[in-house]
């Protein structure tokens, strides 16, 4: 479903953030992407979202080489990819309901679809009772649940989570991981960049390790770090 073929990304300042990446991620997989700061994790994610373009190589998403996709068609790709960030990125002046509804409004969903689907995802993430709260009235875990609801409300085929537990205490992080796993079990491919060694080690999922822009390890049932 996602294939990186000889992907090189060199930024304008000459930094080679990704140096010949070859990866194959199947539909429905759950993949951790690990590596120290500067290893190239964010660049990998930005390529998928077409926020940056590779210097060379091909990147297939659903059989289409998205490096060839015209700018005006980028929203069609982004619609199929939900994203969750460490810092939540909620709109502070909108309620929980409105934050999630907004993700549907921008793709032109009808009022009827919004009224039907937003309560369903809010219930799925356990936030039905907080629908009318504002982000500053929520705990970190609740904020991340809103951001997950927003990421999945348009039924993406892929959920990208960039350090989703980075701002959460271990217990809340565990709850958020349960939710992400639940989404994965429903068939959504999940790509999660993280530094959370405990989580990676406990889940025994595929681990792709990056170092200095290269894939240095790709284990089907991996751990965070071999050296410890």
Contact residues for ligand ADP (CB under 6 A)? 11, 13, 15, 17, 35, 37-43
Cβ proximity to ligand ADP: between 42 and 128 the closer is 42
Distance CA(197)–CA(21), nearest Å, equals 23
Please state, in angstroms and rounded to a whole number, the distance separating the CA atoms of residues 160 and 35. Answer: 16
* Cβ-proximal residues to 37 (8 Å cutoff; 6+ apart), any chain: none
The residue (of 40 and 54) whose beta carbon lies closer to ligand ADP is 40
* Sequence-separated (6 or more) residues with CB below 8 Å from residue 15: none
Work out how close the CB of 197 gets to ligand ADP at its nearest, in angstroms, rounded to a whole number.
15
Separation CA 205–CA 30 (nearest Å): 7
The least distance separating ligand ADP from the CB of residue 56, rounded to whole angstroms, comes to 16
* Residue appearing with tokens 């709260």: 133
Give residues with Cβ within 8 angstroms of 189, minimum separation 6: 1, 2, 25, 26, 27, 28, 29, 30, 31, 157, 158, 159
Nearest distance in Å: CB 85, ligand ADP: 12
Of residues 40 and 141, the one with the C-beta less far from ligand ADP: 40
**What 3-state class would DSSP assign to 212?**
coil
Residue 96: CB minimum distance to ligand ADP, A? 29
Pairing of strands 81-85, 158-162: parallel
- Tell me if 34 sits within 8 A of 224, measured CB to CB: yes
- Please say which residue, 52 or 131, places its beta carbon nearer to ligand ADP: 52
For the bound state, the minimum distance from the C-beta of residue 47 to ligand ADP, rounded and expressed in Å, comes to 10
Which residue's CB is nearer to ligand ADP, number 13 or number 220? 13
The distance of closest approach from Cβ of residue 35 to ligand ADP in the complex, given in angstroms and rounded to an integer, is: 5
From CA 31, how far away is CA 192, in angstroms rounded? 6
- Nearer to ligand ADP (CB atom), residue 20 or residue 42: 42
């Amino acid at each position: 479903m996602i294939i990186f073929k000889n992907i090189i990304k060199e930024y304008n300042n000459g930094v080679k953030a990704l140096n010949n990446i070859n990866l194959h991620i199947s539909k429905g997989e759950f993949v951790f992407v690990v590596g120290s700061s500067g290893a190239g994790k964010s660049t990998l994610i930005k390529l998928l979202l077409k926020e940056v373009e590779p210097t060379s190589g091909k990147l297939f998403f659903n059989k289409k080489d998205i490096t060839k996709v015209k700018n005006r068609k980028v929203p069609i790709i982004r619609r199929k990819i939900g994203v969750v960030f460490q810092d939540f990125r909620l709109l502070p002046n909108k309620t929980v309901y409105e934050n999630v509804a907004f993700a549907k409004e921008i793709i032109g969903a009808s009022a009827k679809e919004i009224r039907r689907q937003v309560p369903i995802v809010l219930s799925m993430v356990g936030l039905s009772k907080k629908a009318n709260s504002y982000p500053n009235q929520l705990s970190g875990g609740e904020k991340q649940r809103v951001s997950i609801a927003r990421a999945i409300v348009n039924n993406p085929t892929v959920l990208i989570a960039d350090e989703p537990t980075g701002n959460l205490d271990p217990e809340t992080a565990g709850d958020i991981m349960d939710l992400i796993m639940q989404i994965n079990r429903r068939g959504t491919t999940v790509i999660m960049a993280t530094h959370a060694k405990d989580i990676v080690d406990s889940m025994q999922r595929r681990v792709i390790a990056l170092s200095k822009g290269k894939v240095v390890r790709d284990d089907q049932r991996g751990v965070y770090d071999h050296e410890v």
